[in-house]
Structure 1
């Protein structure tokens, strides 16, 4: 390995060390309460060194989302292999189950993505184009799984033909984000006042969303 390659590898290791440290602080304190001083302290680097690698706290947040999206995509692609031969509605249901499994096994990554979906970081300053575009590309890959399933459903007749594919995908994703957010933040309230388990409500919500797009589902 030449000198240039070794330096580049060392730079990448240090960069990942900073992201690792930021994860620990973000996941324990929350993004808003975390400062770059906190990240530097956890990483055992000076704050000046942190800024050599990252323009802002927001950029690090995007890098953490990239890690989460990659895990979710790997889970999606693994499960998609087992849905060959099934209709589109079954595929969409399976995607919902994968998302639920991801939320349980990788809760902090999941909440990082959900918090972003509920925030306004898209056009925040201090986020490099590379970090932003990589994150967007991964998010759109997941979105494509959904639009592809919807398109297949319309073609095979299991999903209502009059639905606009992109509009429907955006609405479904927005509903799912809202459901997860509410059930996560109001879990105790829902249990204490309505005696309902969040996990059960989540599965019911998935069924309702599926019925809303199913061909003939509304009339049932």
Structure 2
């Protein structure tokens, strides 16, 4: 049963409207070019209202990218159902990553920018939420690798967490570069972009496959 009051629902809806506006401003103006004033204007709220929900621009940025990572996690959990063993599930995770990148390119670009944010301020609630959701993603990957080791479909001679973080780094880096210069690169070398993506995804997954 929905136990939320009308006031609580209105608060959540308003917060969602602000996050939507912030994502649009960050996408069009970049992180450095965005301001709380521009976000308030886009959301059609006063700056005072924005500050009632978010401490500053950093806080809003983390709320935007946390929602993006939450969406990626949902894609992981949805697509993983199609795998019958650990290796197949790893392939599903790669496909989910690509599907998210294809469906939400602007959000993905904001998510990959997070490493450039340098803040010496006290960690806010939104940053804490961001940290929690980004910790769940590697856990999903590690769980699949462990399952593959147990069922014999994934190599047992690799360290699970090292492999997890390497796969995350390589996949994020590949799609980030693709978003920055993908068409220029593939056109220059007369490559079909779809085939190029699938080749690289299969190449990475194949490094995990058991040779037995």
TM-score (norm 1): 0.84
Stretch deviating more after TM superposition (165-174 or 150-159): 150-159
Residue of 172, 176, 182 corresponding to 1:181: 176
Deviation at residue 56 of structure 1 after TM alignment: 1.4
Look up the SS of the partner of 1:213 in the other structure: coil
Alignment-derived partner of residue 41 in structure 1: 41
Measured against aligned partners, the alpha-carbon deviations of 1:21-59 in whole angstroms (never above 9, x if no partner) come to: 112212222222211121111122232332222111111
State which drifts further: 7-16 or 50-59. 7-16
8 A contact 1:65–1:113 mirrored in 2 = yes
5+ residue gaps in structure 1? Answer: none
Structure 1 position 101, deviation (Å): 0.9
Q: Which residue of 1 aligns with 2:167?
A: 172
1:163 paired to 2:158: yes
162 and 79 in structure 1: CA distance in 2 versus 1, 3 angstrom threshold: same
Match of 2:90 among 79, 89, 92: 92
Is contact 1:160–1:216 with CA below 8 Å preserved after alignment?
A: yes
Contact 2:101 2:108 in 1 (8 A): yes
* C-alpha distance in structure 1 between counterparts of 2:96 and 2:119, whole Å: 30
Structure 1 residue 149 and structure 2 residue 149: aligned? no
SS in 2 for 1:186: helix
Deviation for aligned residue 1:126: 5.0
Separation (CA, whole Å) in 1 of partners of 2:122 and 2:49:
17
Runs (5+) with no aligned partner, structure 2: none
1:114-156 residue CA offsets vs partner (Å, 9 max, x unmatched): 222xx233x6245753212222222222211110111112222
Distance in 1 (CA, whole Å) between partners of 2:45 and 2:161 is 45
The Cα shift of 1:11 comes to 3.3
Question: In structure 1, how many angstroms separate the alpha carbons of the residues matched to 2:81 and 2:209?
Answer: 23
In the alignment, what sits opposite 2:17? 17
Aligned ranges 1:100-179 → 2 under 5 Å: 100-116=98-114, 119-121=115-117, 124-125=119-120, 128-179=123-174
Q: Give runs of ≥4 in structure 1 deviating > 6 Å.
A: none
Deviations 1:155-197 (A, max 9, x none): 2222221211001100010000110011111123213321123
Note the 1:68-87 alignment, pairs <5 A: 68-83=68-83, 86-87=84-85
1:110 Cα deviation after fit: 2.1
Q: Secondary structure at the match of 1:158?
A: coil
